[in-house]
Amino acid sequence: MVHNCHVILLIVLSFIFLPCMKSSQSNDLRPYIIQMDVSTMPSPFATHESWYFSMLSSLSVSLNDQDAPTHLYTYTHAMHGFSAVLTASQLMQIEQTHGHVATFPESYAQLLTTHTPEFLGLKPNLGVSAASNHGSDVVIGIIDTGVWPESKSFNDEGMPPVPERWKGKCESGTQFNSSLCNRKLIGARFFRKGLKQSGNRVSTKNDYNSPRDFLGHGTHTASTAAGSPVPGASYFGYAYGCAQGIAPMARLSVYKAIFLDETQKAAATDVLAAIDQAIFDGVNVLSLSLGFPNMDYYTNVIAIGAFAAMEKGIVVVCAAGNDGMAYSVLNGAPWIMTVAAGTVDRDFFAKVTLGDNSKNIHGRSIFPSNKTVYDGDLYYGRGNKRMESCDIFALNETTVKGKIVFCSAGDDMSEQISEANRCEALGVIIVDNKKTFLLPGEYNVPAVIIDPTDVQVIKKYIKEGRTAKASLIFGETELGLKPAPRVASFSSRGPNYISPSVLKPDIMAPGFNILAAWVPNKSVQMIGNQNLYSDFKLDSGTSMATPHVAGVVALLRSIHPDWSPAAVRSAMMTTADIIDNTGKPITDMVASTVASPLDFGGGHINPNRAMDPGLVYDTGSEEYIDFLCGLRYTSRQIGVVTQKHGYKCGKASLDLNYPSFIVIMNGTSEVSRSFKRVLTNVEDSPSKYRAVVNAPAGLKVAVIPPVLFFKGKGSKQEFYVRVDVNIKGKGKGITGKFLGNFGFLSWIEIGGKHVVRSPIVSASTLQ
C-alpha cells in the first residue's frame, strides 16, 4: 500500500499540516522554527544545542506544566536554530532573547514531487492514481547517470514481490552490491564500454564503475517518476513536505549510460546498449532525460532504439532540450513522446527588512535558510546618490566588503552575485526587470531578488538620512501562485528541425524547481568555502519534466495495458490543459505573452483526464515507415531505423495520424494544406462527436465531415482537415523569428463529457 501524506486543515492557524508531525493537544501551543545567531551564544555554553535547551527550560509555564515547551529539532547545518512547540507568550520571550534572528510558523503541504502530484491533480484515493493503484507493477526504465539506492525514495515498504516476467537484474561494481536492489529498485546496470574505448578514463576519482550515481541527475529523475513517499523532505527548508513520485507503486530499473569522464560526454554506443538492455529486461516505460544534437533519425541512437521499443509496446519519453529557442527541440522523432518544461504554482521567497523593521520587501531567493543576514549596513552607491552597478569588476572591494549591496538592474544576475561574492559582500539585493531566474546553486552569497516596483521603497528609506541598515531573512515557500503553469524560459521550442511536418514538443509537464532525491555525498551548493549537502535537491530543466510524464504513462499503462504507445500519447495530448490557474491561456515565463503549441505541444499534462480521453489518434510501425519514406530516406536509411532492410517505399506520406496539425509556411504568406486523420473510440459505448474549431484571423479551418459517429469500443472513423493560412498583415509572433497563428480543433461528444482537442499551428521556416 502507499503511505499517503493526507492533508489536515488546522483552522486555528490556517496552515496545511501533514500527519508526519504531531499537532499539539492545546489550543495555545504552536510549533515554530526559531533561527538563532550562534555568534551571540553566551560563553558558558559548550554547544549551541545546550544554549537552546537552557533557553527553553527558562520559559514560564503553568502550574500543571500542560503548556511546557517541547523541543523538536536542533538545526546545525541547514540553519542554526531549533524548532519547538510554544505558547504565544513563550514565543515572545524567545524573540526578546539576544541572538534571536527569525521565527517561522511551521507549515506543511504536499509539495513537489513534494508538490507536483498535487499540482497535477493527483489524489491518493481518487482519479487515475486510485484506478491504477499508483502504477502498480509497471516498470519504468531510467537511462541516466545511475542511482543512489540508499535514498529513502527507493525504499520498498509495502510493495509486493517482483513480477515473474521481469528479466532484469542488479549488477555489482564500485561501491554497489547487487543486494542494494529491492522490490522498488528491481534493476540497476551500467554501460561504459564505448566511453572507455574513446580513450577517456572512468575511475572512482571522477565516477563509479557501477550503477551508483555520481552526478545526482539519475537519482533525481528516477525518484520524480516513481519515488516512494518520504515525509520531511526539503531543500534546506524550502519546499518542505512529503516527497513522492508520480507513480509511487511503479518499479524502477536504472541504466547508467552517462559517466563523468574527462570530456563529460555520453557515448552513443553505451546509450544504445542501455536501450537495448531495457527492452530485453521488460520495461513498460522508458525515460531519457538526455539528447543528442539534432541529426537525421538514422544517425540518432535514441530515435533508433526508441523505434524498436515502440514496436514492443514500450512508451519512450524524452526531454525536448533546454535551448529555449525555436527549432531547437530535440528527440523529435514522431514515435517518441517529447516533453517541454513548465512552471508550477510554487515559488521561494525571502524578506528584506529595512532599518527598524518598519519596512518589509518581499523578494525571491533560494539561498539556504541556515543563515540570515541581520542588521547589516546597506550600501547603495558612491555617496549613496545612485544605485551601484554590480556587473563584473564594477564594485570596489574595500568599499562594499561586509555590507549588503543594493544593485541596479543588470544583464546577468548570476554575474552580479559573483561580483558580490568576489568583494566579500555580506549580502546583495538585486533588481530584476527581466523576470529571469537563478538556479539554486547560483546563490553562493545571501541574495534577494526584488521587483523594480520595490526600488522606490529602498530609495526613500536611504534618503531619510539615517544609517541605512537591512536584514535578509530566507526560507519562505509559497503555494497557489498565479499564473501557473507557464512555459519555462529554457524549454526548447518547435518546430522540429528534422521533421517540421510533425508538431513538437508533444506535451508540457512540471520542470522548474523540482524537488527530488539527490546523492548525499555531492555538494549541491557552496557558500563561501563551505560545501552544502542534501538528500533532496531543487533542479530545473526538461530533464525534470520528462520523468513526470513517464510517471503518468505508468499510471495509464496500469489502467490500459492494451493501449499502444501512440494511443497513450494521444490520450495525454488531447486532454492536456491550455489555460492556467487564472483561467487564461498559458503564457511564457519571461515574456508573459501567450504561449504557442510550438512551446507546449498539446498543452500542460492533465493525468486524470488522460485516463478517459474518449477517442485516440492511433499510429503504428507501418505509418511511421511511410513517414520515413516521406522524408526521402533511402532503403538503407529506413533499415537502420526500423531494422526492416531492403524496404521499398510504396507509399510516402508526411501526414501521420498525429494528434496535432502544423502548416509550414516555406517563406510564403499564403499556403494551404490538407490532413487525413483517423479516430478510434476507446469507450465501451457508442458515441457521437461534433467538430468545433477555434481559430484566429489568418487561419481558416474546414473539417469534413463535421460529425462522427462511433458504434462502440474499437470502432474507427476518418475525417479530413483543410487549413488555409493567410498571414498578410495578420501574423502573430509565436516564437523567436517565427510568424504564424495557432488554434484548436476539438471533437466534442454530443450528450457526453469527452472533449478531444488538437492544436493547429502555422509557422514559418527556419530563418
245-259, 524-538, 619-633: the lowest-pLDDT one: 524-538
Largest CA distance in the chain: 92
Q: Give residue 601's pLDDT band: very low, low, confident or very high (50, 70, 90).
A: very high
pLDDT at 73 over 80: no
Q: What are the cell numbers at 298?
A: 538514422
Distance CA 204, CA 737 (A): 47
Residue 575 region, left (φ>0) first, then alpha (ψ -120 to 50), else beta? alpha
Q: What's the number of CA atoms in the CB half-sphere (13 Å) around residue 396?
A: 7
pTM for this structure? 0.83
59-63, 158-162, 180-184, 516-520: the lowest-pLDDT one: 59-63
Q: What's the number of CA atoms in the CB half-sphere (13 Å) around residue 351?
A: 18
Q: Give residue 358's pLDDT band: very low, low, confident or very high (50, 70, 90).
A: low
**Residue 387 CB partners (closer than 8 Å, separation 6+):** 380, 381, 406, 407, 408, 431, 455
Q: What are the cell numbers at 540?
A: 530545473
Q: How would CATH label the architecture of 116-344+487-602?
A: 3-Layer(aba) Sandwich (3.40)
Q: Give residue 25's pLDDT band: very low, low, confident or very high (50, 70, 90).
A: very low
Q: Quickly tell me which residue has 519571461 as its cell.
A: 590
Q: How would CATH label the architecture of 22-105?
A: 2-Layer Sandwich (3.30)
Residue 459: per-residue pLDDT: 83
pLDDT tens digits, residue range 259-276? Answer: 876 555 677 778 888 898
Both ends of the chain: CA-CA distance in Å? 54
**Which stretches within 508-661 are classed as H helix?**
542-559, 565-574, 597-600, 607-610, 621-630, 635-642
335-344, 402-411, 654-663: the lowest-pLDDT one: 402-411
**Residue 419 CB partners (closer than 8 Å, separation 6+):** 390, 391, 392, 393, 394, 395
Across residues 210-216, what is the average pLDDT? Answer: 94
Nearest to 91 by CA among 56, 64, 65: 56
269-283, 374-388, 465-479, 566-580: the lowest-pLDDT one: 374-388
pLDDT tens digits, residue range 112-140? Answer: 245 778 888 888 888 888 888 888 989 99
Q: What share of the chain is helix, strand, coil (3-state, %, to 5)?
A: 20, 30, 50
The total of other beta-carbon atoms located within 10 Å of residue 469's CB is: 16
Judge whether 143 and 286 are in contact, CB under 8 Å: yes
Query: What class does CATH assign to 657-763?
Result: mainly beta
Length of the chain: 767
Residue 383: per-residue pLDDT: 52
Q: Give residue 14's pLDDT band: very low, low, confident or very high (50, 70, 90).
A: very low
Distance CA 174, CA 329 (A): 36
pLDDT tens digits, residue range 314-325? Answer: 999 999 999 999
Q: What are the cell numbers at 63?
A: 502550574
Residues serving a catalytic function are 144, 217, 543
pLDDT at 736 over 60: no
Judge whether 426 and 446 are in contact, CB under 8 Å: yes
For the chain, the domains span 22-105, 116-344+487-602, 346-479, 657-763
Residue 205: per-residue pLDDT: 58
Q: How would CATH label the architecture of 346-479?
A: 3-Layer(bba) Sandwich (3.50)
Query: pLDDT above 90 covers what percent of the chain?
Result: 53
Distance CA 163, CA 154 (A): 17
